[in-house]
Amino acid sequence: MMEVCGSVLTNSRYELFRLKCIYCTIESELKDWELFIVHVKTAHYCEEEDTKISETKQESQEMFVAVDASDPAIAYGPDELFEVIEDNNAEEKWVLADANDFQYVEEATAWSDPNADYQPYGSQETTPKETMKMEESSQNHIPLSNDQDDGECSDFYVSEDDVAPPKKRPVGRPPRRTRPGQVFKFKVSFIRSNPRVLHLIHAYKEHPCLWNPSHENYQDEEAHNMAYEAIMERMDRRANVLFTVEELKKTIEQLHIQYTLALETKQKGKLVGLAERYFAKCEYLSVAPSITPKENEEEDDDLIVIKLNFKEENLVTTSFIETYANYPGLYNPDLAEFTSVEARANAYRRLAKEFQPVVKANETDVYIAVNKLRRWLYDAMRRLRSKELIQKCCQQEVQYLRMCSFLPAKGSESSVLYCDYCEKRFHGDYNLRVHIFKAHQVGDLPYLCSLCPRRFDRQVDMDRHKLRTHFERKLRCQYCNKSFAVDNDLKVHVLIHTGERPHVCDICGKTFRLKLLLDHHVNGVHLNIRPYSCDLCSKTFRKKFELANHIKGHLNIRDKKCEYCEATFYDHSSLSRHRRSHKMGMS
């Protein structure tokens, strides 16, 4: 069984390769892979099966046979043998070369010295002991902090007992990002090896108040919050993963679902391999209430215009696959129009027009449906090959898989698109279009609302706009009659009734309901940042809408009208002051 411990970095010409730890910024030459494995097993150790531990100890003993483990001079283990990359402005850019993840990075870490004469792998042999000797004479490298945190990054490599306890922070707020390359969340799976899952299993086991109904604090919300805080701190310190409380709850729910699926598979006598080992680690969850997996964990059903269903035969899915097959420029990298942003945008528009007799959709709806189709395809192909935990494809899914045989395999390098202006690479033409619009001021934002002409740079913003503007507001405030379409809007509104102002200015102590208001306060009052300037006079403003209202004054545009009289105003604040005069007269 292969154990995932890092990623492979390569340059754009695929000439040089390096290993990068999945937990921290440590990097290594390929020829030093043995020391790299020892680093992962020592600096980021998590309990594993005895067989794996014994194998690792055997290898490490062969490499460090003359080293006394109790010597404080080597308390940091093999970390000192690896060079940490600190220069983000180097010429040679590196990207992840792990085909399983199918992720492409615009700008990854670079060599600390791009002008150095590096030997390709295999051109010169260096033993681990020689490498250790060379590195002892050089200055040790430690990871830099992205936000200039005053804590020492070297503490990350000391044993857990030696690390000072972290400062208390508000419940639910994620820890500050203090190390480059930190992971914010991950998906729990028993069929893919992921050491972070083991860290989560052990951390969750230490807090039975979250999963054991017979525990005295099982119903205690305060105890739950303290447990979540402890798990978040441990995952940050030991596994380099950042969570909010909501993200942690969803991840724990995934862990329960995977355990339930593994239990069902074990009862059938088919639980083997990695899934069996992960299931054994979660044996303590046998007393926890079972959580069944959700069939369709999709967005709000009203937001999905082209509703694809692969589990039963239907006209929409069948017609969409057949229509999509007629546009090879969207999936065949051998065609010239595949790399053209304009040609791809025109293809989506033509596909939407051709598909309108079935479903009235625009180009963005087609793009979202294409992505959903391809995600389902690659997941279904993986389920066909898998023998552990994942439910097999039904007969209709197999039929749709045959219809999708024209699509290329996942992970093809040729599916990457390049910017014509700066040669940056992107996965997904909408990501490229956003970049071209923002960086080069060409074209427009890609996500087009299906109910109005507004455009957005992210799907989540478009969906939020639809809920707020075009759909019924289903969420009602418990304190007043106001209703909202987005859950976060309701939470912010409730703060008005409760009087909570969670965002505090570090300089003057003033409190605010919204983080945005705090940022405006700090930038405008303390830093005196006024980025918006009038082209007609010398005045500057903190906020964009203040500049817009000011320009209305220059142009004598009075679009705010009083409902009690004929008075008109440039901005809403002037109208509000005028309304108060009417109310005072009425009283």
Question: Does one domain contain both 334 and 418?
Answer: yes
Task: Give the pLDDT confidence score for residue 449 in this predicted structure.
Answer: 93
Question: Does one domain contain both 269 and 341?
Answer: no
Judge whether residue 483 has pLDDT over 80.
yes
pLDDT tens readout for residues 44-81 = 666 544 434 444 444 444 333 333 333 332 222 333 33
**Is the Cβ–Cβ distance between 96 and 27 less than 8 Å?**
no
Question: Does one domain contain both 148 and 174?
Answer: no
- Closest by CA position to 80, among listed 35, 34, 44, 21: 35
Task: Give the pLDDT confidence score for residue 326 in this predicted structure.
Answer: 94
Question: Does one domain contain both 419 and 347?
Answer: yes
Report DSSP state, residue 183.
Answer: B
Q: Which amino acid is at 277?
A: R
Q: DSSP readout, 200-224?
A: HHHHHHT-GGGT-TTSTTTT-HHHH
- Closest by CA position to 347, among listed 333, 334, 358, 331: 331
Task: Give the pLDDT confidence score for residue 387 in this predicted structure.
Answer: 65
Task: Give the span between the Cα atoms of 190 and 295, in whole angstroms.
Answer: 18
Question: Does one domain contain both 19 and 93?
Answer: yes
Question: Does one domain contain both 328 and 423?
Answer: yes
Task: Give the span between the Cα atoms of 456 and 346, in whole angstroms.
Answer: 18
Judge whether residue 486 has pLDDT over 80.
yes
Tokens of 382: 């993986």
Sign of the four-CA dihedral 470, 476, 480, 481: positive
Q: What are the residues whose beta carbons fall under 8 Å from the beta carbon of 45, sequence distance 6 or more?
A: none
Task: Give the span between the Cα atoms of 195 and 215, in whole angstroms.
Answer: 28
pLDDT tens readout for residues 335-377 = 888 889 999 999 999 999 999 999 999 999 999 999 999 999 9
pLDDT tens readout for residues 251-285 = 999 999 999 988 988 888 888 888 889 999 999 99
Q: Does residue 182 form part of some domain?
A: yes
Task: Give the pLDDT confidence score for residue 45 in this predicted structure.
Answer: 63
Residue 489 — φ and ψ, nearest 5°? -65, -40
Q: Does residue 526 form part of some domain?
A: no
Task: Give the span between the Cα atoms of 468 and 447, in whole angstroms.
Answer: 16
Question: Which of 125, 156, 187 is the C-terminal boundary of a domain?
Answer: 156
Structural domain of 402: 307-363+389-469
Task: Give the span between the Cα atoms of 82 and 90, in whole angstroms.
Answer: 19
Task: Give the pLDDT confidence score for residue 388 in this predicted structure.
Answer: 63
Judge whether residue 480 has pLDDT over 60.
yes
Task: Give the pLDDT confidence score for residue 559 in this predicted structure.
Answer: 87
Question: Does one domain contain both 269 and 354?
Answer: no
Residue 50 — φ and ψ, nearest 5°? -60, -35
Question: Does one domain contain both 144 and 271?
Answer: no
In sequence order, the β-bridge partners of residue 425 are 418
Question: Does one domain contain both 231 and 133?
Answer: no
Task: Give the span between the Cα atoms of 53 and 45, in whole angstroms.
Answer: 10
Task: Give the span between the Cα atoms of 94 and 112, in whole angstroms.
Answer: 12
Question: Which of 234, 256, 287 is the C-terminal boundary of a domain?
Answer: 287
Q: Which amino acid is at 145?
A: S
Q: Does residue 354 form part of some domain?
A: yes
Task: Give the pLDDT confidence score for residue 158 in this predicted structure.
Answer: 31
CB atoms near residue 161 (< 10 Å) = 5
> If you average pLDDT over residues 407-431, what whole number do you get?
80
Q: DSSP readout, 133-159?
A: HHHHHSPP--PPPTT--SS-GGGGGS-
Structurally, the chain folds into a number of domains equal to 3
Crossing angle of helices 50-63 and 33-43, rounded to 10°: 130
